[in-house]
Copies of this chain bind each other. A is one copy, B any other.
Amino acid sequence: MAKDNLQMEADDFLPLRDVVFKTLRKAILTGELKPGERLMEIHLANRLGVSRTPIREAIRKLELEGLVVMIPRRGAEVAQITEKSLKDVLEVRRALDALCAELACDRISEEEMNQLRKACGEFEKAVQTKNATVIAKADVALHDIIVAATGNQRLVQLVNNLAEQMYRYRFEYIKDESQHERLIEEHRMIYESIRIKDKAAAAAAARVHIDNQEKSVIQQIRLDNNV
């Protein structure tokens, strides 16, 4: 099973429960804790060097996020990620990303528009490095600008949460070099639509972007499940 790779960062200012929450969340999203794996409190407490209390409080949050499921009188385990659940997530995200693009057309500031233009350039540069981590960072940065431009806190929170659910699979998508030109093109489309405040075009471009991501991510999970 999972080795002792779980390592807490010494975030001294946050309560332990939040540190544990972030640690476990990251471990689940990166696949370090695998679907179906049981989360045993004493075990985790020993490994992270804390007591059961913060572990339990962190699990309660993960439970509400859907990252772990509780089995009565048996404890928590990492939630299974099925093709269906990923499609469900992407279906919602498609709608919310389109909403973000539309709202951004109305509300983006000049300052943010400049940032967005820069972020597009940064992304193209990142692609040239062919380093997946760098590309992923640039991609996140670009999308964050659009989401933030909506000025809707709740929307920001929901989109980020949904995006995180596929962290693992998105990474594989970004590694696929045959997709890189298309990604650049899609980002340009989104940027250009927002620049000229064409809401319909921006929403459509955002949907296309998710559609392509969906194809790749679904392929990935099928590979995973057959292993």
Contacts and interface: CB of A to CB of B under 8 A. Distances in A.
Interface of A: 15, 17, 53, 56-58, 60-61, 63-66, 72, 85, 88-89, 91-92, 95-96, 98-99, 103, 152-155, 157-158
Contacts of A155: 88, 91-92
Contact of A60 (B60, B72, B99): B60
Given A72-B15, A153-B85, A158 B92 contact: yes
A138 to B, nearest CB: 27
A92 B102 CA distance: 12
A52 to B, nearest CB: 10
A75 to B, nearest CB: 11
Nearest to A15: B72
A16 B92 CA distance: 32
B57 A154 contact: no
Given A96-B95, A99-B95, A154 B61 contact: no
A92 B96 contact: yes
A66 B98 CA distance: 24
The residue in A53, A89, A154 that gathers the most chain B C-beta atoms within 10 A of its C-beta is A154
Nearest to A95: B99
Contacts of A89: 154
B91 A152 contact: yes
A37 to B, nearest CB: 21
